Structure 1
Amino acid sequence: MKKLAIAAVLISLLTPLTSLAAAQQQDMEHMSVTYRTPLEYAIYQYTTDLLNSFKLQLRADIHLQARMNIQQMYQEQSFTDNTLNADQQETIPVRLTGATTSAE
């Protein structure tokens, strides 16, 4: 008889907790749907495509501009063989440069 009473008390204690957890889970998910007309969707799609192409073009322009800037800096900082004096035009032996010669 004691075991039956203890089981009944435990069941009655646990029942409100499980129903409380189930009630909280019901309010967690909420979804709203907005229906658009075909014209509104077409305008949205066109705008999205236009913005994506603009982003791609901007990325390509940035890459091209960076390449042009690097080329310009290289040309400003580099020197040609014509501007070297005789001391600077000495040739470096192949064994010191690490370059390999082709077999003949």
Structure 2
Amino acid sequence: MRKLIYVALIAASISPFTALAANDQQDIEHMSVLYRAPLEYAAYQYTTEMLSNFNLQLLADIYVQARMSSLQMAKEQSLMSNKISMEQQHDKSLASTGVMTSAE
């Protein structure tokens, strides 16, 4: 019985140290990038900004199209009255939102 208690105490005392060792092995990987010329960095920045703007516009367009589809389905099922404000009836696609700007 005493041996079982000793084994349990030793296992309990070692377990915090094994947890600390496991945390040391999970470091975040770091990556550094060297650009050969300022033009390469500028091209990278421009591409990153364009892709992030496109993704935001795409998400906004998906939301607007889903909302308009939901309104249209509700209207067809007579769940909503025919009086939808003019603001909601406008097409808000990517081309008409005016969000996309040219590079300066």
TM over 0.5: no
Q: Which has more radius of gyration?
A: 1
Give me the TM-score of the superposition, normalised by structure 1. Answer: 0.44
Higher relative contact order (CA 8 A, sep 6+): 2
